[in-house]
Structures are given as structure tokens and as C-alpha cells.
Structure 1
Amino acid sequence: MIELALVGIGTGHPDHITRQGERALNAADLILIPRKGEGKADLADVRLAICSAVVTTGTRIAFFDMPVREGAESDYAGAVERWHDAIAEAWLAAIAVHLPGGGRLALLVWGDPSLYDSTLRIAERLARRTALRTSVVPGITALQALTAAHAIPLNAINSPVTVTTGRRLETGGWPAGADTVAVLLDGRCAFRGLETAGVSIWWGAYLGLPQQLLRHGPLADVAGPIARLRDSARVAHGWIMDTYLLRRSPPAP
């Protein structure tokens, strides 16, 4: 039996892990950390730094090579499914080497495992192949970190919030009926394709970390500067995790 704990790590700061998350990491027999290639080595380093800060027991740490997702714009869903299959195989291979007799396994998940993250879907694949029991320890979500960094509420008074992805924003435009739109997983700055009149943006990257970047203002004024800043930060650090909130002012009476 594998006892799998998925521990949310917020945006990568050790303080974003709950005390429950710390206990789960310290109780594990093994923590698996993905390696995503030399260009993203800092991502593994962030996870290692978190473990160094909060793990005080003899928990072992092992690495596995993260499969690369194929580029398939015409079959995005299929490409993601095949990628998840490959990741599940990588997990199984690592478990066979480092935890062959079963035990307690932990993975550190960016943000919260329940919000636009596929770790749970990959765990479902493992459950079809081996005895597995999964638990989830929620962490600080990117949206919590973003609104806290800007000191703003997530929603306007009596107004709903639509949470979506950059891909959906790029292909579908502004979600119907939404005044506030929270966007995750946007590697192409889809906000640049929106009608900017009356729209404000609150953007943040590396939230809570020493290299945190924040920008806010009318979308018409800051869309270009944010995109350029994002590009330069990614080059400088080798990776970037960012998110943003868009809010449209109500029409004048």
C-alpha cells in the first residue's frame, strides 16, 4: 500500500505550507521531486529549499525526470492525457526504486492540489495500477497570494468571480456575465487580446518570494509593460509562476 500525501506549497514560500502540510512531509518515508530540465532547475531548488526549511525528520528525498508534454495545439486535450499517462509511469518507476515495499509518499504541489492542478488526476492513474490511498493537504492558492499581495478583495460587492485559464481567455475572450476574472496558467499574456476599455489588472509573479513582482493599473496602460517584464523575469530566473485578476468597471448609469 502506498499512502500518497499531496501537499500544497502555495507559490513556493515555506510559510505558505500549513502546519498540517509540515506534519505530512515529516511523516513521509519519501518525498518525490520532479526535475524539469536544466532550464527549470530552480523549480526543483525551490522544493528542496522548502524541504530544508520544514522537514526535520529522516524523510528521504528522491528525484524523477518530468516527461515533456508534446506540442499539439490541434489536440490539446489528447496531448495532456498522454502527458499525464507518462507522468504516472515516471511516478511508478520512482516508487519501484525508492519505495518498493510500500509506505508513505509525499509530493509538493504548487498552489493547491484542487485548483487547476492535475496531480490528483495522475494519482487516479496510479490507483488503477497499485494499492494507493491519497490524501490532500491544501495550501495557499495563487489567488489568495495575489489578492493578499495587492491588498484587494477577490470579488466586487455582490459580484461573482470567474476563474479560468489563459488558454480559455485567449480562445473565448472575456467570460460572459463576469465582472471579475481570475486567470491562471497564462504563458502567452492572453490579456493583450482583450478589449481594454474600463478594465483593470492586478498581476503578480513569484508571489511571496524575494523576487516577487507586482503590477496594477488600467489594462490599456500596463498590458505591454507586464508582458515585457514577464519575459525578462523568465529569462533571468529560468522559470516564472504568475497569475492575475481582471476587473471590468460597471457601465456608467
Structure 2
Amino acid sequence: MSHKPTLRNPRLESAGLDSWIVRLFEDIDEHNLPWLSALSRRCEQAFGDALIDLVPSYTTLLVVFDPLMVSPSQARVLISRILVDLEPEDSAHAGEIHELQTWYDPSVGPELSRVAKHAGLSVNEVIDAHSQQVYRVFALGFAPGFAFMGLTDPRLECGRLDTPRRRVPPGSVAMAGRQTAAYPTATPGGWNLLGRTNARLFDRERTGFSLLRVGDQVRFVPVSREEFEREGGDTTPMEPLA
């Protein structure tokens, strides 16, 4: 990922009567983010009240609009005009910076030892490596408020669990491959659990619902059990993996 992608042949793919997928790139690259962020911002301006949702991913942006206000062909024209002179956002438009207080402990992070063994490190070294990195939010998906972040320290790269859990508690901090995330709600999941954060990642009362947005920067800050409990964190131990 040492190269910086340029916009070559963006494509529009129909995703129904109310949405278009804009495919900017073919390969996952952290340098895609400024382009996707710029496209999102320009779509917000161009569609105005007709815009229903924007769903960015690693290489694409799903644009969902109100077909009673804008027809699919009109939406295609709007997006095509944006793509003609689209430029990546500069640092002045960088996302927000978030520090998520995290309690790293085997009782809530049962894969700490698995990742440590795989990496040839101690559990404390895994915690240090994971918490010292500043991550970028690459995409939102899987569940509301679930942010895919990267890239982790290459030493920590570890595959998903062979058997996913039926229920991962909200706030669980996890990693798979070189990605990391925190589960916003209780869902099934097969990532390696390292700990738990007390951050409210998804809130229906919050504008936009999700705490994290594509392009944001995130750091997991280790805290003691006492600090975690004091801030309202749930210390309920994980059940054994069935």
C-alpha cells in the first residue's frame, strides 16, 4: 500500500430504482479514503433534500436517493458531473479523532492469548501493539454503527475464529486479519475479542446514529477495570465459546 491511487475509470452500477453504486477503485487502499470522503461531501451538496443515505465502503459509495424527488437517470447525471472534476480531500477535511477507553482483559477479551500465541508475543505486548496504533475508519457495515478500521500492527495479523460466536456483547473490541473494530450492538461475530470499550458506538438519539464515520481516526486507550466500571462499562465475563 505504498502507492497513492488515482481516479481512472469510475463506474456507476445500478442498485435499484433509488440508488447507484459508484465504484471508484478495485483495490483496498487507505489512500482511497480522501476520494470517497470528497465524493460523499459533493453528493450531499448536489442531492440536498433528495439524498436518503450514503454508504461508503473500501472502494465504493452507495448513493441512496428519493426517487419521488430525483429520477434514477437524473441521479446518474448528478453523480457523473461530480466525477468529472472530483479531487481528493486534503487534511483540512480530515475526520474526527476519537479515543475509546478500553479494558483489555481475558474475561472480556478471550482471544488475547490466541493472538499472542499466533504473533509470538506476550499478552501485554499484544495490548501495547493494538492500543498504540492510530486507526482510520475505512467503512461502515455489517451492523449499524460497525466501523471497519485499520491497519493493525502486522505482527498481530490473525484469522477469524473457525466457529463464530452466536452473541458478541456490545462494546467488544476485536480484530481479524489486519482490521479492528468494536461491536456497537450484540450480534453474532467471528473476530478475535481483545477487550471491551464503554463508548456508545450506536445511538438512535444521536445525529447520524453512529459515533464513527468513514475517515475518522481512532485510538483505543487502555484503562483499568476500576476506570472502566466507573465510566459505566459492562464487566460481565464472556461465556465459553460453544
Q: TM-score, normalised by structure 1?
A: 0.28
Which has the bigger relative contact order, CA under 8 A and spacing at least 6? Answer: 1
Q: Which structure has the highest helix share of the two? A: 1
Q: TM-score, normalised by structure 2?
A: 0.28
